Each structure stands twice: as C-alpha cells, then as structure tokens.
C-alpha cells in the first residue's frame, strides 16, 4: 500500500470499528445511537444500515481518492476526519471498559 493511500484505509478501518462497536453496544443495550438519522435506519434494519454505511464510505473514499489532485486542502480534511473518528473509537473503548468493569 502506498503511503498516500494509508489515510483512506485508516478512515475506512475506523468506520468499520465504529459501526461494529455501535452495533455491539446497541445489541447489549448499553448505548444509544446519538445520530438521529443513523438511529432511524438502525431501528429499521441493522444489517442493511451496516452494509449501506460501509458501501457509502468505501465508494466515497474511492471518489475522493480519484479527485485528490484537484482539491489542495483535501489531505488536511482527511487527517481531521481521521482524528474525529479516532475520538469516536476512544468513546467506544470507554463504554466498553465501563461495561466490562461493572
């Protein structure tokens, strides 16, 4: 994998972890989805929502990768997005830890 592709892979991997932890937390009834749109779709079909999110993010990242040379500020935005996603994963780890300890 090229170094320039690493941020895209990282964002996708963080998305997979986010949706996985979210589904686990919802199934165990220890969290609530904070995003009203995601909450709506997760209540309709968790499997469809997971598939849709992963496809949407994957296709979006491929599109962004293809136009990256036309958007000079894109690398900074991708790093900021990765930082936000890492923060979300830290929140997930926090509730997992609280659940396991109690």
Q: Is the confidence at residue 2, as pLDDT, over 90?
A: no
Report the 10 Å Cβ neighbour count for 70.
7
Using the Cα atoms of residue 78, residue 81, residue 85 and residue 91 in order, give the sign of their dihedral.
positive
Q: Mean pLDDT, to the nearest integer, of 7-13?
A: 98
Residue 60 or 4, more confident: 60
96 with 21: CB under 8 angstroms?
yes
Q: Mean pLDDT, to the nearest integer, of 75-79?
A: 96
Q: Mean pLDDT, to the nearest integer, of 74-91?
A: 97
Task: Give the mean pLDDT of the chain.
Answer: 95
Distance CA 49, CA 12 (A): 16
Half-sphere exposure of 33 (CA within 13 A, CB side): 20
Q: Which two tokens stand for residue 74?
A: 């894109």
Q: Is the confidence at residue 102, as pLDDT, over 90?
A: no
Task: Give tens-digit pLDDT for 33-59.
Answer: 999 999 999 999 999 999 999 999 999
């Amino acid at each position: 994998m090229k170094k320039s592709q690493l941020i895209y892979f990282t964002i996708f991997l963080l998305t997979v972890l986010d949706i996985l932890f979210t589904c686990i937390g919802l199934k165990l009834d220890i969290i609530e989805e904070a995003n009203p749109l995601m909450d709506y779709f997760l209540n309709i079909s968790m499997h469809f929502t997971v598939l849709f999110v992963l496809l949407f993010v994957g296709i979006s990242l491929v599109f962004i990768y293809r136009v990256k040379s036309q958007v000079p500020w894109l690398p900074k935005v991708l790093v900021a997005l990765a930082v936000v996603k890492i923060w979300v994963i830290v929140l997930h780890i926090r509730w997992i830890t609280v659940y396991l300890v109690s």
